[in-house]
Structures are given as C-alpha cells and as structure tokens.
Amino acid sequence: MSGLLKKLPTKLTNKLPAKVADNTRLPVEKPNSTLKPISNQFTKLLSVTKYLPAAARASILSKAFGKVVPYVGTTGIYYETVDPNQVVVSLNNTKAVQNHIGSVHAVAITLLAETATGFILGLNLPSDRVLLIKSYSVNFYRPIKKGQIAAVASLSDEQRLDILNTPKGEMVIPCVIHDRESDSDRDPIVVEMTWAWIPKSELEARRQGKATKAELENEQLDNAMSESEESSKQSSKELESN
C-alpha cells in the first residue's frame, strides 16, 4: 500500500473545523457519474476510509492530505468531500489566515482553490503521471464576509476520461468559491486554475538532462583548467631552456 496510508493519524484530532449545517447547500451540484475510480495512491486512501462516519473520514483525510503537501497542512484546510467527480475544501476564518479587514486573505483563498482543483485532478490521474500547476487567475468581484470560505472543484465523466486517456495534457479545472456567510447571489470570486500533467518518466528525463548538462559544463571547465595548466608548464619549460 502507498506510503500515503502510513500517514493516517492514530486518533482523531479534537480541533475540528466548525461543522457545516446539515441544510448547507453546496454552490455546485455534484455531477452524476457512471465511471469507476482509477487506482492510485489517493483513491486507495479513499477506499480504506469509505466506511467511516463522514466526520471521522473528513478529519482523517484532512490530516493525511495535509502531510502529503506540508504547506497546505499548516493552513487548516478541511477536506469535506473528496470524490473523483467533486472535491469540496473549506477554510475557517481564523486569525492566522486573515487580511487587514478581518476576512480570509486573498492568498489563502487562492490556495484553497489550488487545493481543490489539484486534488480532483490527482484523484483522476494514473500513477505513472505527475501533475503541475501551469497558471491561474483570480478575480475578486465583491468583499468576502468574515466567515467560512469553501472551494468546490468538479469534473464531468467526459473530463475524467480525457484526463485518463491523455498521457500529457492540460485542463482548466472548474472551481467555485462559496462565501458561506453571505446571502448574495453574486460569486465573490471567479477562479481559473490551469493544471498540466506529464509522464513521470519525462519529468525524470528532464531532471537527468539538466544534471547531465551541468556535469558536461563542469567537465568542460575542468578540461579548460587542465589545458591552461599544461600550457603554463610548457611556457615555463621553454623559458628555462632559453
């Protein structure tokens, strides 16, 4: 089993984010799906935890995924729904993530969107490929209230098949930011996250190529220094003979 499973906490934390009310309506309806999940390190973890109560499962996934991406684990992001067709992550408005007016900081919201879109791609990516963020844009259209923020990333079955059948590609992953303390019908933020993926073998080849280039440059430098030393010795011998 993947090393991910070793990151499961032995007990649940007592510091869970505030529970979302049962009547909370998700901003985006979860797509219907007839596809089976692929097998990778993320879906194996989902399979292991699927029979746990929802709150316990969300807590365990939040702890485990927070260890996979250490920086994300320091922010308090909570994984409410983790599914190949939809990922919902949320962030409570605490002092550590606030801006100067007391709402969730723009960078924290961007990280929330990056986390939701990155994990939904990861859930649909075969193990022989690696995902990379390529670009993103974030546009703010109204002030955020001082409460909880959620990011919802969704993929249709058609998009999931495109990811599965394309060894190297890119995609704009749809993401909606939900300001849960606001009654406004207007989206506070519009986010576009463009992710790319390539075969792991290609990434390794690129790294090896860079290493080989550096080694070649060092070798050329050593050769140049050796030639310079030989030239100096030869010049000294000629001077002595004269």
Q: Which two tokens stand for residue 95?
A: 């002092």
* Domain regions of the chain by residue span: 3-199
> If you average pLDDT over residues 66-84, what whole number do you get?
86
- Mean of pLDDT over the chain: 80
Helix or strand or coil: residue 160?
helix
Residue 58, pLDDT > 80, answer yes
Q: What is the distance between the alpha carbons of residues 40 and 50, in angstroms, rounded to a whole number?
A: 15
Helix or strand or coil: residue 227?
helix
Whether 96 contacts 52, CB under 8 Å: no
Predicted local confidence at residue 24, as pLDDT: 40
Q: Convert the pLDDT of each residue in 168-208 to its tens digit.
A: 999 999 899 999 888 888 888 889 999 999 999 888 888 88
Q: What is the distance between the alpha carbons of residues 187 and 60, in angstroms, rounded to a whole number?
A: 30
Q: Which two tokens stand for residue 56?
A: 């316990």
Q: Convert the pLDDT of each residue in 109-160 to its tens digit.
A: 999 999 999 999 999 999 999 999 999 999 988 888 788 999 999 999 999 9
Sign of the Cα torsion 101, 106, 109, 115 reads: negative
Predicted local confidence at residue 74, as pLDDT: 83
**Of residues 56 and 23, more confidently modeled:** 56
Extended strands (E) in the chain: 78-83, 86-91, 129-140, 149-154, 169-179, 189-199
Residue 11, pLDDT > 60, answer no
The pTM (predicted TM-score) of the whole model is: 0.72
Predicted local confidence at residue 112, as pLDDT: 94
Whether 4 contacts 68, CB under 8 Å: yes
Look at strands 169-179 and 86-91 and give their pairing. unpaired
Residue 17, pLDDT > 60, answer no
CATH, domain range 3-199: 3.10.129.10
